[in-house]
């Protein structure tokens, strides 16, 4: 069985009037089986729900899933078995490791899908002390994934805010592999999207897809746009996997 997955930092509602049409067009064009979003907001949930009527998401009153991250999955393919949020002891109180456990309707097998948004390098405490938050956050995420996942396919996506350390730690601690590296591809620069972002001093491959217990088939970072509009200050990453 093959599935497609896309990860995108939505940039909350910054310049949303310039991006809404492009975002809707992107979702309707690519139609990934699973979408993982960071920096989601209620206004964006309304927009995405309208663009993806054949997908479902975690519906809860917990603010984390409405103001930080959520995961959409194609309802004809998957049944939601469970969802959890694991604390990574982050300064951003609504963030953490967002996890959904899905059952594949075709064969009854299970799949874990996770998304995370590690702390930004420009965090005020980090700038003051020089001590990064991300290694500890990655160790905690890896600990949870190792505890939770046995032999099921597991996908982890997100804005890692660091091109090196989190992916290295997740590989060493939890046996997760980075999809571009596995396919012999250079990790694409995903930040910043220069059309709206003012952070042009940062040029980084920080949006990642990692996996275990499945086989990657392809990966890309589509620089999707429409005349007059782009998706976010990040470019998305997407991949296709063979699960079973």
What Rg do the C-alpha atoms of the chain give, in angstroms?
17
- Distance between CA 244 and CA 233 in Å, rounded? 35
In the predicted structure, residue 198 carries a pLDDT above the cut 90: no
- Distance between CA 230 and CA 194 in Å, rounded? 10
Sheet strands (E) in 54-187: 55-57, 69-74, 78-86, 97-104, 110-117, 154-159, 177-178
Residues β-bridged to residue 81: none
Per-residue buried b or exposed e for 204-240, using 16+ beta carbons within 10 Å of the residue's own CB: bbbbbbbbbbbebeebbbeebeeeebbbbbbbbbbbb
pLDDT digits over 147-189, tens only? 999 999 999 999 999 999 999 999 999 999 999 999 999 999 9
- Reference 76, options 106, 118, 41; nearest CA is 106
In the predicted structure, residue 199 carries a pLDDT above the cut 90: no
The predicted pLDDT at position 201 comes to: 81
Cα distances (angstroms) measured from residue 165 to each of 118, 178, 182, 225: 11, 12, 17, 30
pLDDT digits over 54-111, tens only? 999 999 999 999 999 999 999 999 999 999 999 999 999 999 999 999 999 999 999 9
The predicted pLDDT at position 66 comes to: 98
pLDDT band at 200 (very low <50, low <70, confident <90, very high): confident
The predicted pLDDT at position 229 comes to: 92
- Distance between CA 143 and CA 139 in Å, rounded? 6
- Distance between CA 176 and CA 170 in Å, rounded? 6
- Reference 48, options 84, 86, 20, 6; nearest CA is 20
Note whether 205 and 188 are within 8 A (CB). Answer: yes
- Distance between CA 24 and CA 49 in Å, rounded? 10
- Distance between CA 52 and CA 45 in Å, rounded? 10
How does strand 2-9 pair with strand 34-38?
Answer: parallel
In the predicted structure, residue 194 carries a pLDDT above the cut 90: no
The predicted pLDDT at position 220 comes to: 98
> Is the bond leading into 192 cis (omega within 30 degrees of zero)?
yes
pLDDT digits over 208-226, tens only? 999 999 999 999 999 999 9
pLDDT band at 140 (very low <50, low <70, confident <90, very high): very high
The predicted pLDDT at position 56 comes to: 98
Note whether 71 and 57 are within 8 A (CB). Answer: yes
H/E stretch holding 2 reads strand 2-9
2-242 is classed CATH 3.30.70.1170: no
pLDDT digits over 116-130, tens only? 999 999 999 999 999
The predicted pLDDT at position 202 comes to: 86
């Amino acid at each position: 069985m093959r599935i497609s997955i896309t990860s995108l930092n939505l940039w909350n509602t910054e310049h949303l009037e310039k991006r809404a049409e492009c975002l809707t067009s992107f979702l309707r064009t690519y139609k990934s089986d699973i979408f993982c979003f960071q920096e989601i907001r209620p206004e964006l949930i309304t927009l995405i729900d309208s663009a993806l009527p054949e997908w479902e998401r975690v519906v809860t009153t917990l603010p984390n899933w409405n103001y930080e991250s959520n995961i959409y999955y194609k309802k004809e393919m998957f049944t939601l078995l469970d969802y959890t949020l694991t604390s990574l002891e982050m300064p951003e109180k609504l963030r953490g490791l967002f996890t959904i456990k899905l059952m594949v309707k075709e064969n009854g097998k299970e799949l874990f899908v996770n998304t995370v948004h590690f702390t930004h390098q420009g965090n005020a405490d980090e700038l003051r002390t020089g001590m990064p938050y991300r290694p500890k956050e990655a160790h905690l995420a890896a600990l949870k994934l190792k505890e939770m996942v046995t032999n099921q396919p597991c996908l982890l996506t997100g804005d890692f805010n660091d091109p090196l350390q989190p992916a290295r730690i997740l590989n060493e601690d939890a046996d997760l592999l980075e999809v571009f590296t596995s396919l012999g591809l250079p990790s694409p620069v995903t930040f910043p999207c220069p059309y709206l972002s003012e952070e042009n001093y940062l040029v980084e491959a920080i949006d990642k897809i990692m996996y275990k217990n499945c086989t990657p088939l392809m990966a890309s970072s589509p620089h999707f746009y429409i005349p007059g509009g782009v998706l976010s200050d990040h470019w998305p990453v997407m991949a296709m996997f063979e699960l079973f």
